[in-house]
Amino acid sequence: MNFDPAQLLLLLQMTDSAFPTGAFAHSGALETYAQLELIRTPDELVELIVVKLASAARTDLIVVHSALRAHAAADYAQIAELDALCSASKLARETREASERIGRRMLASVLNLLDDALLGYYQDQITAGQAAGHYAVVHGLACGALGIDPRAALLAFAYALAANQTASSLKLIRIGQTQAQAVLATCGAAIDAAVTEALSYTLDDFGSFTPALDIRSTEHERLFRRLFIS
């Protein structure tokens, strides 16, 4: 993969934890797993992240790849289809709203850095109430605007998913920063596998069956105590 240094730097900036998307406020139901003592150890955390990556390979990562292609083809209709698909596939309210909140905040911040017609169109659709503004769609369009290689774009998205889980785990289970980084490194092979799988799929392959994740996400909003929004 060849990178233009300026493009790579912007990709790193967009996926950095300091980029104002608010992703740090969401645990992706890890908080539910922790309170139910279903996730207590680093090994159990790895297992959960691997499942989430496998699910993303059949859902959000396909959307990221499709958004990249939509940007290349200036396919405005496809953007609306991807946005609707994201909304339909996220059954738990908190999961759906997390994707929308992170996506909208990322889009606003990206538009502060880039002038891009398709990103601007997506923002207009959100403002008009015609689109929700999902994170995977925004990430794909932003990478398309930067001319980022598809594999690099998907690797960045999948890595951010895993990194968010390890960062959240520091507040939820008995794990230190060194162990959390070891978990993230262990997930490297699963990140690469999920991306490779997603790149071989089209929207016809879209769909994942993870009822346990959906249940834990739904349960989160009814927890007695919460540190995270989702």
Average pLDDT in the chain: 95
16 found inside a domain: no
Per the CB < 8 A criterion, the answer to whether 203 and 66 are in contact is: yes
226 found inside a domain: no
pLDDT at 67 over 60: yes
What is the structure's pLDDT at 173? 96
Is pLDDT larger for residue 18 or for residue 1? 18
What is the structure's pLDDT at 2? 60
Total structural domains within the chain: 1
14 found inside a domain: no
What is the mean predicted confidence (pLDDT) over 138-145? 97
Q: Which residues contact 111 (CB under 8 A, 6 or more apart)?
A: 119, 120, 123
Nearest residue to 140 via CA among 189, 85, 72, 77: 72
82 found inside a domain: yes
What is the mean predicted confidence (pLDDT) over 152-172? 97
What is the mean predicted confidence (pLDDT) over 94-111? 96
What gap in Å lies between CA 186 and CA 125, rounded to an integer? Answer: 39
84 found inside a domain: yes
Question: What's the distance, CA 69 to chain centroid?
Answer: 18
CB-facing half-sphere around the CA of 180: CA atoms within 13 A? 16
Per the CB < 8 A criterion, the answer to whether 221 and 86 are in contact is: no
**What one-character-per-residue DSSP string does 4-20 give?**
-HHHHHHHHHHHSTTSS
Range of the domain at 101: 5-9+22-220
230 found inside a domain: no
What is the mean predicted confidence (pLDDT) over 112-134? 96
16: tokens are 């950095």
- Please state, for a pLDDT cut of 90, what percent of the chain lies above it: 91
CATH classification at residue 184: 1.10.4190.10
96 found inside a domain: yes
Global confidence as pTM: 0.95
75 found inside a domain: yes
